Amino acid sequence: MVFRWFLQLIILSLMAGCGSQSVISDPKEVPKLNGGKRVDIGFWHTYSEEETLLLEQELIPAFEREYPKIKIQPLQLANNNEFKYTLISRNFSTGSPDVVRMDNAWVPGFSRLGLLRQLNKFPDFQETRSKFHPKDLDAGFYENHYYSLPLNTFTKVAIFNKELLNQAGYSVPPSSMEEVLKIAHKHGFTIGLGGYEAWNTLPYIYSLGGRLTNQDFTRADGYLNGAATVRAVEQLLLLYKEKIIDFSVVTGGGDNWDGVKEGNILLTDEGPWFYSTLNAEELNKALKLTIPVPFPGNNGPASMVSGEHLVIPNGSKHPDEAWTFLKWMSGKEPQLIMSQTGLVPSNVDAAEALKVSRESFVYPYLEAMDAAFLRVPPVKNWDEVDEVYTRYLKKIFLGEIIVKNGLDRAAAEIDRLL
């Protein structure tokens, strides 16, 4: 693909003529940390297999050439609650990592619990923060301090099965979610959702005109339980009762990825890893069978944008060296190299330098970011908000409570949290 070849050329041009020298900057300018002794930095992350391969074969060796007194000890872990609770417990005991790449949804909660080091205390923080869009830094801002640096950003798109679209008489996906639902209902096609959580359901609700809160994220009443949101959830609930909407990925071990590629599901949604984790043969097949597009909708932003951030736990024994690694990883060239896997840089210069052809699977994800809403609003107890939202939406779909009453109760509880 043009995109992949372009980035490979970037890597080759960066490495050409460097020999054993750094591919990023001049090692002569490296400060002498820790009295010149070698320091081992524990780096816990949730990169995919392909991303980890690039991290360990390209990025870490390049960093260690530039900073020969700092040795990175990477550890790949699953992005789940076990990882989250392990990080919390390690902050209060021995064995804390020095750097963590975590979902930006976790950063507000970790900041509020006092588990992260304040990055703005480092003398060159202001210069470093200027490399990012202010909105990308919001997840790490709490009580006038910054606790994280944005590493990469991503969004979700709607992924359609081409054959089912053709059967319904469409060569391209419809421009509105209402039309998509009508197609699914008319032809008995399935829509695969990944769960009841905000990440999985809000893009559909927003596409249909619903909202979670007001624009300032200070009030849910009148929005989550407003007429538009009630109508959107009722539309989805009706299709769920008719077995058009399928939650089997969470209730019965179904697989939306395989479903849409094999022609059993008209529409699912996912981040760029839907494609980036595939080998060349699988990717070619998936691109022939599917059409990724920004979430259809004419009711304002419908796709959800999120990302990963880098943080330094309070338990780090080498915060200065950890900060050096944070700055390096969030720099232009490392982010461009990692974007081979479909990760979109958060560094402004890297994002501007990124050239993606329309044929690339990454292109629809970049398009979607132009009309996307934040997965993690600047609310410091987002985990609790998401838990309330998920609990009541599940009750609604399982028939334990009617739509309006469920959304009324959810809005009231979320307002108390806000």
- The verdict on residue 76 lying in a domain is yes
Residue 75 lies in a domain: yes
Average pLDDT over the chain reads 84
Range of the domain at 19: 2-154+307-353
Same domain, 263 and 193: yes
Statement: residue 307 has pLDDT above 80: yes
Q: What is the pLDDT of residue 240?
A: 92
Tell me which DSSP letter residue 301 carries: -
In a domain, 368, yes or no: no
The alpha carbon of 127 is separated from its chain's Cα centroid by a whole number of angstroms, namely 25
**Residue after which a domain boundary falls, among 338, 353, 368:** 353
**Is residue 367 in some structural domain?**
no
On the question of pLDDT at 41 being above 90, the answer is yes
Residue 355 structure tokens = 């050239």
pLDDT of residue 28 exceeding 60, the answer is no
Burial class of residue 264, CB neighbours in 10 A (0-12, 13-18, 19+): middle
**Chain segment 355-376, per-residue pLDDT in tens:** 888 888 888 888 887 777 777 7
**159 within some domain:** yes
Q: Is residue 177 a contact partner of residue 245, using CB atoms and an 8 Å limit? A: no
Asked whether residue 281 falls in the same domain as residue 409, the answer is yes
- 14 and 138 both lie in a single domain: yes
Return the closest-CA partner of residue 392 out of 409, 375, 371, 412: 409
Domain count, the chain: 2
Distance of CA 366 to the CA centre of its chain: 13
Dihedral (Cα; 89, 93, 97, 99), 10-degree rounding: 70
Residue-wise burial string across 387-404, b where 16 or more C-beta atoms lie within 10 A, e elsewhere:
bbbbebbbbbbeeebebe
Q: Are residues 188 and 243 in the same domain?
A: yes
40 and 67: one domain?
Answer: yes
What per-residue confidence (pLDDT) applies to 17?
Answer: 35
- Contact between residue 79 and residue 36 where contact means Cβ atoms under 8 Å apart: no
What is the reported pTM?
0.76
Of 385, 353, 56, 4, nearest in space to 198 by CA: 385
Query: 370 lies in a domain?
Result: no
- Residue 58 reports pLDDT greater than 90: yes
Residue 97 lies in a domain: yes
Per-residue pLDDT tens over the stretch 376-390? 777 778 888 999 999
Question: What's the CA gap between 214 and 210, in Å, rounded?
Answer: 11
In this structure, what DSSP letter does residue 343 have? Answer: P
- Give the range with max mean pLDDT: 304-318, 380-394, 401-415: 401-415
Q: Grade residue 251 by pLDDT with cuts at 50, 70 and 90.
A: low
**191-230, pLDDT tens digit by residue?**
988 889 998 999 999 999 999 999 888 999 999 999 999 9
In terms of domains, do 172 and 77 share one?
A: no
CATH number for position 165? 3.40.190.10
Are both 84 and 192 inside the same structural domain?
no
Judge if 139 and 225 occupy the same domain.
no
Q: Is the pLDDT of residue 53 over 80?
A: yes
| Percent of the chain with pLDDT strictly greater than 90 | 50
Q: Are residues 218 and 300 in the same domain?
A: yes
Same domain as 204, residue 143: no
Same domain, 8 and 119: yes
- Specify if 45 maps to a domain: yes
* One domain, residues 99 and 164: no
What H or E segment, with its residue span, contains residue 250? helix 248-251
